[in-house]
Structure formats: C-alpha cells, structure tokens
Amino acid sequence: MKKMADLDYVSVDKYDNFADYRMDITDLHLKSESFDCLLCLHVLEHIPDDLQALREMRRVLKPGAWALIGVPIDHARATTFENPHVTSDEERRKIFGQKDHVRVYGRDIARRIKQAGFDVVGVDYCECLGSAEREKYGIIAGEEFFSCKRIST
C-alpha cells in the first residue's frame, strides 16, 4: 500500500518495529477524525478491551469513513466467549485456539462492532475474488470481513 501513489498509508502496531507508529489500539495517539479508511485484520481477538479498541478506531475515522475489520469467528457459537481469568499460554491455546488470543468471537460480532458506533455489513470476499486473488491476499475460504461505516453523532 505504501507504493500506491494516490494513497497516504500509515501502519500502527504495538510491538512491530517496522510499523510507522508503535501504539496501543485502545489508546491511539492520532488526531480525531483524521482517517478516511482503517484496516484492522486479525487484531481484536488479541485485545483484552476490544470495545475500547473499536471506539478508538471510530474516533480517528472521519464522519462517514469506513473500516474493514476481520477476526476469526466460530460460527457454531451464538455469542462471543471470553474469560479474563484464562491467562496461561496452555489454557488460551486450549480454550481460544491460540496462546495470544483472549476470546473466541461468535455470530454476535457485528452487534459488538455496532456498539462502538458503526453501521456493519458482513462481506464474504471468497465469493468476490478468484482463488488466485484469495491466495495472493491470504484470505481463507469462509473467512468473513466486516465493512464498518462510522456513524456520525
């Protein structure tokens, strides 16, 4: 994305030294209403306070701007499961599927995103893209993304 001439792109990561900014997604030191678009892919399942992260994402987006959010979802679960008392790598791997995950999202994910002030539409890019494009972008069959438009208040 940095190579695209008509796009100003910045990256944020709490730990990655290659990111433009090292910040916590729950406390972004970025100007309010300053971004047209935000990508948050496979991040929220690692964040203890995902609702605060979503609120911060909304805060930095301009009115009417959008975010693309992707998280792993267990479609067999009606509601998201989280337990802050599960802290060991072994327990997290067993319960959440990965040692650094803090929850398993269920089918209620869109409702959770809406709580932070977004209109949400689920998007199945597997239906939109061919197999070569899915492989190029690392999209797993059945993976769902959410197009989230910032609601103005």
Taking residues 9-37, what's their average pLDDT?
Answer: 92
The pTM score is 0.90
Q: Are 15 and 23 in contact (CB under 8 A)?
A: no
Residue 61 lies in a domain: yes
Residue 79 lies in a domain: yes
Number of domains in the chain: 1
What's residue 153's pLDDT? 65
Residue 11 lies in a domain: no
pLDDT tens per residue across span 28-78 = 999 999 999 999 999 999 999 999 999 999 999 999 999 999 999 999 999
Mean pLDDT of the chain: 91
What's residue 7's pLDDT? 79
- pLDDT > 70: percent of the chain: 99
Angle value at C-alpha 89, between 83 and 93, nearest 5 degrees: 70
Residue 9 lies in a domain: no
